Structure 1
């Protein structure tokens, strides 16, 4: 079950259509792998709890780890307003603190979304967020896809010169998969998030259009070659 249709009860973060699509498609990808029944989820660098609240609404028990106290307060306030406070917990700490903070705890799912491209010590962070994940549990990694940039420069910006320069960027997805293998994680499935939406000339706010676009994006998320040039890469790995 997903929260398709962009449930208005959860639209409390002032998200634009593209932002909502990112969360909806990422969630749909992840739920293809999540087992039945409530899961114990750790959302690393989960900020204001957008994804955590959505998962809590589906019945999962979610802990948000983030160093920003103000963001965590927003997450808790939102959970309380939706009667989800009993399923959403917050811990103020950084990703590298996860092994110590959660020593002795095991999670079924760990989310690490839009974090790794901000840090230099990616392998160290990956090792830290894997520490509280149980054997057989799922790790979800999301980040900007460098292979999208040439397409965006050529199609949306009409700048072929910039597209050529973007081709020389160092892609990170293969490196992340290699790092996961070094850390003992070998079963990795790749998805794309927002395969075509960022290439549209304008985002229509019509609900019927957005519903159809969402359906298209979910269908494309695991399709080759579309997933390779999506705006975001999404890796779901089993420990």
Structure 2
């Protein structure tokens, strides 16, 4: 099944426009770096497989690692509905178990999206998810960007006092890049995901507007300074 075919089945994932936009921009950023040909991909904490299936639709073999059995069952059901069951595998385990679970296995790509901000020791988690990544393989890390919060508080919440408080929070992206370097992951490229969409008073559901908004977000994803204050930071790097 092609990625265009995947896009014709929005009924399989009930997503709001901003959710779809996040997946679209993140995938586009990653595709700039993917090696040609089918890749072996590990999607850590991949849940219901929405990102994994987008990559499987492009011919990549994807393994979803997640502790939630119900979410993995949903991923399997959706892969069956899309006739992609042969390209999607699931493993029920936590992210910290990755070195043991995949001992002796090597992946070309590892996704670590929306995970690190939930753990107390991001460095330990990064070390675990990188363990199955081959030398020269690609790592994709996505997370909420603290530098977005002051703008959101001022423009969307209309709360300048909260915006001032948000300014005092330390952004974590620089520290994260340093941790990656210590783990032997270099050539880090930073993108922004949803640079302006979350600042709009509302997101119109008109298809023409959404198409224009998507084009704008794709164009801004690698533009300075817009990427620095996007809703999400997206780091793509090689081991």
TM-score (norm 2): 0.97
After the TM superposition, which residues 74-113 of structure 1 pair with which residues of structure 2 at under 5 Å, given as runs?
Answer: 74-113=74-113
Q: 3-state SS of the aligned residue for 2:72? A: helix
Q: Is the counterpart of residue 228 in structure 1 residue 234 in structure 2?
A: no
CA 172–15 in structure 1, closer or farther in 2 if over 3 Å, else same: same
| CA distance 1:11–1:232, shift in 2 (3 Å) | farther
Asked if 1 retains the 8 angstrom alpha-carbon contact of 2:6 and 2:54, the reply is: no
Provide the secondary structure at the position in 2 that maps to 1:204: coil
Q: How far apart are the structure 2 equivalents of 1:219 and 1:3? A: 20
Q: What value does the CA root-mean-square deviation take over the aligned residues?
A: 1.4
5 Å-filtered alignment, 1:115-126, equals: 115-126=115-126
For residue 42 of structure 2, what is the aligned residue in structure 1?
42
Contact 2:6 2:82 in 1 (8 A): no
Structure 1 position 13, deviation (Å): 1.6
Q: 1:123-153, CA deviations, whole angstroms, 9 ceiling, x for partnerless residues?
A: 1110011110011100000000000000001
Matches within 5 A, 1:193-204: 193-204=193-204
Q: 8 Å contact 1:6–1:20 — kept in the other structure?
A: no
> Which 4+ stretches in 1 moved above 3 angstroms?
2-6
Distance 1:168 1:23, change over 3 A: same
Cα distance per residue 1:68-94 (max 9 Å; x no partner): 000000000000000000000000000
Aligned to 1:162: 162
Alignment pair present for 1:152 and 2:152: yes
Q: Which runs of 5+ in 2 are unaligned?
A: none
Shift of 1:11: 4.6
Match of residue 17 from structure 1: 17
Stretches of structure 1 that go unaligned for 5 or more consecutive residues are none
TM-score of the superposed pair, with normalisation by structure 1: 0.97
Pair 1:5–1:85, CA change in 2 (3 A): closer
